Structure formats: C-alpha cells, structure tokens
Amino acid sequence: MIQHLPLGSQGLVTSRLGLGCMGMSEFYGQTDDGESLRVLDRAVELGVHFWDTADMYGPYTNEVLVGKALRKHRQAITLATKFGIVRQPGAPQSRGVNGRPEYVRESCEGSLQRLGIDVIDLYYVHRRDRNVPVAETIGAMADLVKEGKIRAIGLSEVSVETLREAHKVHPVTAVQSEYSLWSREPEDGMLQACKELGVAFVAYSPLGRGFLTGQIKTPEDLAADDYRRHSPRFQGDNFYRNLELVRAVEEIALAKATTTARVALAWVLAQGEHVFPIPGTKKMKYLEDNAAAVKLELTPEELDKLSEIFRNGATGTRYPESSMGSLNG
C-alpha cells in the first residue's frame, strides 16, 4: 500500500502519489469513460487515493466522470478540484480567468453538484485573476470552509509572493505547479516556501506530459488531436533535444531493471515528503507502473546525476506563448 502522509497543515492526510484525471476527458487523444472508471477503481485498490480534477476539464465532463467513481469510493479518496479558468462549451479554445467572490461560490456549487458530493477536500484557484485582489478570492474560499463546503484551500501556478499573501488571509494547504526533471521552476523558491509554511507542494505532469516515460519517440506517436502537438516542447528541434535528455533516465532504468517512468517519478518523490506528484493517466498499465515508483529508491549519486543532466530543464516553454502569461500569478 502506498504511504499516506499529511497534505499540508490543515488536517488532510492522503497518499503520497496521486492521480491526475484530466486526460480521461480530453487533451490527450481518444477517451473511453468505461476504461477510465476501471482505472479509478484500480487506483483505490493500489492505494492511489489522491485524485485531481477541475471544472475546466471537458469542460465539466471530467468532474461528472470522477463523480461516478466517487459513489463507490468517497470515504477513501481525497478529492481535489479547481475553479478559475473559464471555458465555454462549444468554444473549447476560449479561455478566461475569474476570481471574483461571487464566481468562487458559483463554481463551488457547480462542482459539488457534478461530483455528487457534499464537501470538496481541496479546492484550488486554478489561475490567479490579476484583476481581483488575492484577499478577496481567498476570503470567499475561507467562507466556503466555514460553511463546510470545502475542507482546504489550494493555489495553482502562483508566485511565492501570492502564496504568502493568500496564506495570511487563510491557511493554504497546497500549491500545485508543474514539476518534473524537465520543469524545475518550483526550485526557485516555491518548494522552500511551501516547506517553511507547512504547505504541500503538488507536482502535476511529473512525467513531463508523458515525455519522460520514454514511450514517445517521434511527434507522430501523438494522436492528431493530442494537445501536445501544440506544445513547444514537443515541436521541431525541441522534441529531439529533449529526447536526448530522456536517454539519461532510460540508462538508469536499464541499470536498475525498472521502467523509465518509475525512475522519473522516484526523482520527484525524493525531493521532499511535502512533495506529492500526481501523474495523470487513463490507461491501466500506466497507472500500475506509476504506482510501483513508490517502491523504487534512487541512490544519492543517481539523484545527483539526473538533477545535473536536467539542470536547465527542457528545451521550449511549457505552454504556447499565448498561455504563458497566466503562470506565476
């Protein structure tokens, strides 16, 4: 069984390894709700009890899907969802950000209904609304805590300054940002600030959106409708430069008779007990492979070697330039 540890300092305890559910509904090619529900059932058996979704995934459909699984497993699961990125059904490319207090409440009520639950364990601001004072957004979330609609407050893709400002209004339980061998930005202060404040750091895309598994060898391995085809790290020369980096992970995996994905996840897990990676998958074999990473121990020399090889991260930005402005809010 996967180790369970305190998630932040406000009473939540959950599995050290979580599950990102986004790809079960869109972005990464064809989806299959039946298979996804079987994956969620298997996650419970494996002890992967920290599930992550958001209202913008679908939009809305991922929460509905996760809600179906929660009917059987609610007591076992620490459920995280998010609000703040606004998408309209029928216009999937449209994006907005809304952190107004009235929208906080409206979004929470919608998520509770779609998920079919009475309380959300961890509720994130998906992106900071730069037009709304942080104190107003967090104040509205604090009201939801008092009313018993959410148990804890989280922030996604924010700056250290925003974390500290929010934490003064109400204790923050978790900060979520992309973190992996090829996305090292959280090391520039955020990991340290979280540890200082007693805040969990939740690492999404800890496998570099699948690239660090070694399973993607050419851009043609991605489905035609796969979001990653539009990601700078998966395009042109960037793709092949990043592929060179992955070979170092593959070498360690070969020497240890394990998989590349497990090595990449074990590196993230080794960055501190306050770090909770949430690799996403919609496939049973990848779920089981990821879960086995908690048993893999890398030596100090192996950890240092990987850190050094990837010290500059991946070639290419994490998102297209049009989306980069919403990060580090």
DSSP letter assigned to residue 210: T
Structure tokens at 288: 């089981």
Is there a domain that residue 199 lies in? yes
Of the candidates 295, 308, 303, 252, which has an alpha carbon nearest to the alpha carbon of residue 1? 295
Count structural domains, the chain: 1
Is there a domain that residue 62 lies in? yes
How far, in Å, CA of 85 to CA of 88, rounded? 10
End-to-end Cα separation, the chain, in angstroms: 36
- Residue owning tokens 């952190």: 99
How far, in Å, CA of 177 to CA of 158, rounded? 8
CB atoms within 10 A of CB 244: 10
Q: From first to last of its 329 residues, what are the pLDDT tens digits of the chain?
A: 799 999 999 999 999 999 999 999 988 778 999 999 999 999 999 999 999 999 999 999 999 999 999 999 999 999 999 999 998 766 656 689 999 999 999 999 999 999 999 999 999 999 999 999 999 999 999 999 999 999 999 999 999 999 999 999 999 999 999 999 999 999 999 999 999 999 999 999 999 999 999 998 888 888 888 778 888 898 889 989 999 999 999 999 999 999 999 999 999 999 999 999 999 999 999 999 999 999 999 999 999 999 999 999 888 887 766 666 667 77
Cβ–Cβ under 8 Å, residues 154 and 172: yes
Is there a domain that residue 329 lies in? no
Is there a domain that residue 109 lies in? yes
For 214, list phi and psi in degrees, rounded to 5. Answer: 80, 5
266: left (phi over 0), alpha (psi -120 to 50) or beta: alpha
For 89, list phi and psi in degrees, rounded to 5. Answer: -55, 135
User: Kind and range of the H or E element at 190?
Assistant: helix 190-197
Active site residue 57: yes
CATH classification at residue 125: 3.20.20.100
- Whole domain around residue 186: which residue ranges? 4-324
Is there a domain that residue 222 lies in? yes
Is there a domain that residue 187 lies in? yes
Q: Which residue out of 28, 57, 123, 179 is catalytically annotated? A: 57
The reported pTM is 0.94
Full DSSP string of 261-321: HHHHHHHHHTT-TTEEEE-B-S-HHHHHHHHGGGG----HHHHHHHHHHTTT--SS-SS-H
